[in-house]
Each structure stands twice: as C-alpha cells, then as structure tokens.
Amino acid sequence: MKQSQLFTKTLKDIQKDEVSQNAILLTKAGFIHKEMAGVYTFLPLGLRVLNKIKNIIREEMNKVGSVELQMTALQDKKLYEATDRWSDEVVDNWFKSKLKNGTEVGLGFTHEEPIANIAAKYVSSYKDLPFSAYQIQTKFRNESRAKAGIMRGREFSMKDLYSFSKNKEEHEKFYDQMKEVYMKVFTRLGIADQTYITLSSGQPFSKYSYEFQTVSEAGEDTIMIDEKKKIAINKEDYSDELVKITGVDPKKLVEKKAIEVGDIYSLGEKYSKAANLKYTDKNGKESLVYMGSYGMSPSRLMGTVVEVNNDKNGIIWPQEIAPFKVHLINLKKDLKDSEQVYYSLQKEGIEVLFDDREISAGVKFADSDLIGIPFRLVVSDKTGEDIELKERNSKKVELISLKSVLKKII
Amino acid sequence: MKQSQLFTKTLKDIQKDEVSQNAILLTKAGFIHKEMAGVYTFLPLGLRVLNKIKNIIREEMNKVGSVELQMTALQDKKLYEATDRWSDEVVDNWFKSKLKNGTEVGLGFTHEEPIANIAAKYVSSYKDLPFSAYQIQTKFRNESRAKAGIMRGREFSMKDLYSFSKNKEEHEKFYDQMKEVYMKVFTRLGIADQTYITLSSGQPFSKYSYEFQTVSEAGEDTIMIDEKKKIAINKEDYSDELVKITGVDPKKLVEKKAIEVGDIYSLGEKYSKAANLKYTDKNGKESLVYMGSYGMSPSRLMGTVVEVNNDKNGIIWPQEIAPFKVHLINLKKDLKDSEQVYYSLQKEGIEVLFDDREISAGVKFADSDLIGIPFRLVVSDKTGEDIELKERNSKKVELISLKSVLKKII
C-alpha cells in the first residue's frame, strides 16, 4: 500500500488524558483513534494488526475442531435472570438499554447464557457431544475506570470459546488441551517467553482455574512466578493449597506485575441447568452437559504486544502481526526505482507499506520507527543499484541487492 | 467440513412468530438463531455465507482504493448534538445507554459524525484529498417493528463507506463510480438481474439520490421500473422532475415491490461543517470538505439472496456465497469411499460439507435441499466407481467419474 493512500498520519500531539504506553504509541503512530475512554476506533494500520491477531487465534481454534459462530451484542434479559446475572448488584458492568416497547436489553459482556440456550436447541443425545464453538466478537463492559488504552476497553474484541462435554472427565481433557492451544497463540504473537500459566482461585466446581499472564509493568495483576517451572500463582489468590497443586517452592517465587491475556474456566453445570441443556446417554439416562469457557481478547493482546515491544522511538511489531512486513522508503526525486522494488516485493506476496510521500528523509525515518514495521528498505541516490536494509529491532544497516533482500525476508 | 462436526441441525419446528421467508428458511436450515425480534446469531453455516458476502464487498471497495477501518458502536453524544441528530425526536431509532458516571452514550446507527471527526484530525491540505474509507461493522437501530428476518434488524452488519472530496465536481465523479461498484457487487451476489438503480428524493444539496432495489414480494418499497432502460423511480418520491431526469416513459413504468439493498448519498458539507473538517487549497484558501456516504448491509443482502433464490424444498445459494461449494453425501455403510472423494475435493481447494452422519438417505437429501449447497454428490452402493452429481438448481442427475466431477466444478 502506498502511504499517500493512507489518510492517517503520525501525530505529535495527542490527547493529554492518555496515560498508558500502548494508547500513546498506537495513537501517535496512527493505529487507533479514541472515541471516548476505553472506546477506540481501529484506523487502517490498526485494523490490519487486529485482523492478523484474530486470524492467528481463529486458526488455532479451528485446528482443535472448534466451529465459529457469531452471537449478538443485544442480550435478552430473561436468559440472564435465569442465571442470576441480570441484576446490576450481581454484575456491575452491564450496559443496558431499552426497546421501543420498554423491554430492557443488555449489551453482552460475555455469552455463556445465549450459547447454552443455542446448544439446548441442538443437543439431545450423547452422540452430539463433545463439541466446542467460538466467536470473535465485540464485548461491552461498563468499566468505571478505563485508563489502560486498548488493554481494558468499554467496547473491545473478544474471542470466547465454549466447550460442551458429557462429564467432568471429558471436559478436563479438553480443558488441558486448551492450555496448550493458548500457549501456541502466545508463541505466534511473540509474547510466549514472558507469558506464564497462572493459577487463580477456582469456581465452586474446581479448585483452581488457569489464567495466562504476560509480565509487564503495565499489568494490573501481580503474579508470583516460579521461573524454573514456568508457572505462577496470582498473588490475590495465593494459598498453601495452590502452592501444593503447582508444586512450586514458596521461597523461590518472584513477584512481578503482569497483564492477564487469557483465562479458561470450568463452568460445570450452572449454565446448562439454567438453559435445560441435557443429553441422553446410551442407556436413556438424562444428564446435564458440562461446560467450559475460554476467553482471550485480540485488542487486549494487541495492546500487550505494544507494551512489551517498544523503544523510545516507537513500536516494534513481531513479524506475524505487523501491519506490513516491509516499510519501503523512497528518498529519490523520482519514484521510478522505488516503484520497481515495490512491485517486485508485491509480486512475491510480501506486504509493503511504500512511503511515496514528498517529505523529508528525517520525517520518513522517524515515522518508520514509530510505526514499527519489521524490515525497513531505503532507496536513495546513495544506494545505487542496491537497497539499504535495516531491521526495526536491530541497529545494523546493510546495503544489499534486491535479490538478497528477497532471500532474506520471504 | 464433516457434518458430524457441525453442532447445528436442520429444524422442523421453528418459532411461530417468524413470518418472513428468509428467517424461516435460514432458521430451519441452521444458518441463524433468533435472540429476539430483529436480533440474530449467525450459526456456523450462516457465518460462512455472511463472511463471503463481506469479502466480496471488501474486494470491490479495495479495488477503488478505499481503505478499511473499524469504528465503534458506542457513540459520543457531543458529536451528534453538533449535527442535531442526538434528540430522539429527530432520530427515532437510537439505542441509548449510560456510562457509570451518568454520561449518556448512543449505539451507532450510522457513522457520519465520527468519521468526519476522525478525518478532521488528518486532513489539512488539498494534497490530502480526495480519499474514501469504509468499515464493515455492526449497526444498531431501535426499530419498533422487526418482522423481516435478517432484512431489517435491530442489530445488523453494515458496510458504510464515506468519501471526502475537495468540491462537488470531484465528489460527483466518485459518486458515479460507486454506482458501478455497487452493481458489480450485486452481479457477484447473483442478484443483478432483478436489481434496479432507483432514483429517490435527494437531500438539500442534490436533486436526487440513488438507491439499489431488488425486486421481491418481500420488499417494503414499491418501485416504478422502466425495464428497457433498466432504471426505476421509488414510488414514494415519484415526481415529474425525476421522470425528466431519468428520461423514462411514464406510461411504460411497471410497479413492483422491492428490497432496498443499498443507498448512496451526497452529504455536501453538513458533517464537515460540524466537525470543522477543512482543507487549504494551493492559494491558501480554506474550504469545507465535500462528503458522500455509501451504505450496504451484508446481512440484509444475505436475506435478500434467500428471498429471491429458493423453492419449496429450501434455499438455492449462488456459488460465490454458498457456505460450501459441494455437499457430499455418503450412503454406504462404510465411510471409506466417500472419505476418498472428500479428501480429493479438499486437495483441489474445494469447500465441501461431508454428510458422514448415520441417518437415512431421505433425511440427508431433504437436509441437502434445505441447506441449498450448489453441487450435491452422492456416494452409494448403486453408484459403483462413479459418483452421482446433481446441481441444486437443476433436476438432472448424472452418474460420472470423480475426474469428471472435478472438471465440472473447479
């Protein structure tokens, strides 16, 4: 894409009320625009990153045989009354509205109730189980404070997967599998090294549940890490029992701030009971379906990646989710030579942002560092037949042929 | 995909309050689930179709150089007060809610105000214009009646594109181009033959605007068609002036019911004025940006396609947006032969729904007609080495080799 086609620009001055690093960098670099606290528009560059994160998640969910659907934002009060989650005293972050006829509706902050209700329509026999389904959809949470940029939004994207099993054993098999699936996603997003499976207190039907916590000063949680075992305990829920379960040495735990980038829950039969979600086994016996839920927010992950990958000049995107792989910068008067490189790269299927603007080299370099695309190529009068290659996360500048460039970055 | 993997099934009995053909068929066939009137979950089959429609639209918008972004559902009251569109007396289909601190927020029914506000941040010079940007996002409209299935939702998907031009002439060039782009989308969706460019009354800054109307008894509009000129006038806005502009013969107009599948508007300077969206020309003179907006709803289009393509047995999907290209039905006791066909088709990149369920042939055939996938393949004891091929929109049944099948459908 030619940069002249992009209507956004980098910004020097941004709203003073932004305090989080991810929001400041993403706003300056032209990835997001703040509509109100915790509510962000994803500008063209930002949407490209968000979609790449969503696709990585989608691929990993599909690999375990989960099927994608898309539920709605508007929620039926009745479904939540049945599980005692409608009242604002029980769930304090509802956004609510009204239909013309006065009927109250909510904006979905999660979707256990509607998915259990849908499943009840289709599940009747043990042959229908187990299965899992997920969506990547917009959630609404009426947070009283929203100061963490795109890491804690009032409106944000969420992948929520729900599993349906015949019993606890079958559920636990899938639950353990999802632990690995989540770590695979974090590996592809380039944050696995600093992300810990973290035990926190469970629900009534399980002794503990798993969170995934990425170490960062921007985090709202504190976790106690056993570096050797690569496991942690959420400080809030620290107990002798969790120490026993994890087998960590309490004396060796290191306290660090961390961002919760995912959580997976055993739900037991709470929601299937409310939705009358039952199945009949081989002998004709009826039982409630055992459910699990598995959350992960693409927009929060995007914010997390920015928090852990940046320097004083801007963002440093990991290759798999960068808005483009190559930032091609033209410094010649004539665009011809750069255009040739541009088309050669595109022919190889490489995503290129081509800075064809008529502005100073200094501004172009500063913009490029701020935007944070992995490979920077410069075509200038000084480069002759060759091209200057620099990686965003390195200081080394090479002068090499187009052919070598292609070899290096394909 | 194996049908046994799909948690949904076809349904015989559906909610009695569904009156629209599209909702009845899509619900029975397992494409959608009703959360409340005008609010539908897209089940796995439905989401596949919806995403295909979105991608066709996306491709055509990208082709004219438009860039994609994603604005938010939650809307800032202040932006709409500036254009006098906040009050419920002016806009009667707002969903409104409140932040914890009592601040009122709206759920976006359209996005002229926020996009003008975003553009004002980036546009300053004539060099920044013209450009256009679009999103494919969820809109909320508090309809008092919602009985048209997914054709008129309270929550629905919308592609809304906004154009930004230096002046009226530049705007009109793009506006006319979009007329062609819209017809291209309808061609790809298989509804171009029955879709008419329709003139309706304009806004203060234009004598008329264009709608796109697809002839169907399910339509809420009535249009007066000149079949020869392939143009129509919306009956509501019929006037001597529109007859003159279109050059139609009033005596030859045919009245038909139709579904509005798109509309494109010249917005003039109304929203740029409110957002202080200005540019400076070569001589340093400041002017307001001239805007246009271009709407088209993927979910309404999906409903429209169903309304115009069905028979007594079910839906008949056009190839480009069918959930799968091939419905492979196994009638043998052993899955082996069918599986071989399944993998051969998948190897060729063909999307296949493989009915591997252990149920009667009659149920499988009925389900297949209801779901409406273009090509049906049957592997049974009767077919020997060959495969039975039948197209959904034809009665002819052929017994041919796998090789011939591949030739025919790739």
Q: How far is A162 from chain B (nearest CA, A)?
A: 12
CA distance B4 to chain A (A): 8
* Residue of A13, A26, A95, A289 to mutate, interface with B, max B Cβ within 10 Å: A95
Rounded CA gap, B141 and A228, in Å?
Answer: 54
Return the number of CB contacts < 8 Å for A and B. Answer: 140
Give the per-residue pLDDT at A91.
Answer: 96
d(CA B153, CA B142): 9
Burial class of B9 by CB neighbour count within 10 A (0 to 12, 13 to 18, 19+): middle
Per-residue model confidence as pLDDT tens digits over B32-66: 999 999 999 999 999 999 999 999 999 999 999 99
| CB < 8 Å to A35, chain B | 71-72, 74-76, 114
In angstroms, what CA-CA distances link A324 with A150, A230, A297, B317?
21, 32, 22, 36
- Beta bridge partners, B74, equal B107
| B123 touching chain A per CB within 8 A | yes
Q: How far apart are CA B125 and CA A291, in angstroms?
A: 57
Which residues, 6 or more positions from B376, have their beta carbon under 8 angstroms from its beta carbon?
B326, B327, B329, B368, B389, B390, B391, B392
- Give the three-state DSSP class for B147: coil
Q: Which residues of A touch B101 (CB under 8 A)?
A: 144
Is beta strand A310-311 parallel, antiparallel or unpaired with respect to A195-201?
unpaired
Domain B324-409 has CATH 3.40.50.720: no
Give the Cα separation of A388 and A371 in Å (integer): 18
The answer on pLDDT for A204 being more than 70 is no
Domain A3-211+258-311 fold: BirA Bifunctional Protein; domain 2 (3.30.930)
How do the domains of chain B map onto residue ranges? 3-311, 324-409
- B47 close to A (CB below 8 A): yes
pLDDT at A317: 98
Choose among B33, B65, B164: nearest Cβ to A118.
B33
Q: Does B118 touch chain A (CB under 8 A)?
A: yes
- Whether the CB of B42 is below 8 Å from some CB of chain A: the reply is yes
pLDDT digit string (tens) for chain B, length 410 residues: 999 999 999 998 887 888 899 999 999 999 999 999 999 999 999 999 999 999 999 999 999 999 999 999 999 999 999 999 999 999 999 999 999 999 999 999 999 999 999 999 999 999 999 999 999 999 999 999 888 999 999 999 999 999 999 999 999 999 999 999 999 999 999 999 999 999 998 766 678 899 999 999 999 999 999 999 999 999 999 999 999 999 999 999 999 999 999 999 999 999 999 999 999 999 999 999 999 999 999 999 999 999 999 999 999 999 999 999 999 999 999 999 999 999 999 999 999 999 999 999 999 999 999 999 999 999 999 998 999 999 999 999 999 999 999 999 98
Which of B68, B63, B75, B62 shows the shortest CA–CA distance to B109? Answer: B75
The whole-angstrom distance between A90's CA and the closest CA on chain B is 15
Same fold? B3-311, B324-409: no
pLDDT value at position B398?
95
pTM of the model: 0.97
Environment class of residue A284 by beta-carbon count within 10 Å: exposed (0-12), middle (13-18) or buried (19+)? exposed
End-to-end CA distance of chain B: 18
The tens digit of pLDDT for each residue in B101-134 reads 999 999 999 999 999 999 999 999 999 999 999 9
B138 touches chain A (CB under 8 A): yes
Q: Name the nearest CA neighbour of A70 among A120, A155, A137, A141.
A: A137
On the 0-12 / 13-18 / 19+ scale of CB atoms within 10 A, A204 is exposed
Query: Which of A97, A122, A133 has its CB closest to that of B9?
Result: A122
At position A311, the amino acid (one-letter code) is: D
Fold of B3-311: BirA Bifunctional Protein; domain 2 (3.30.930)
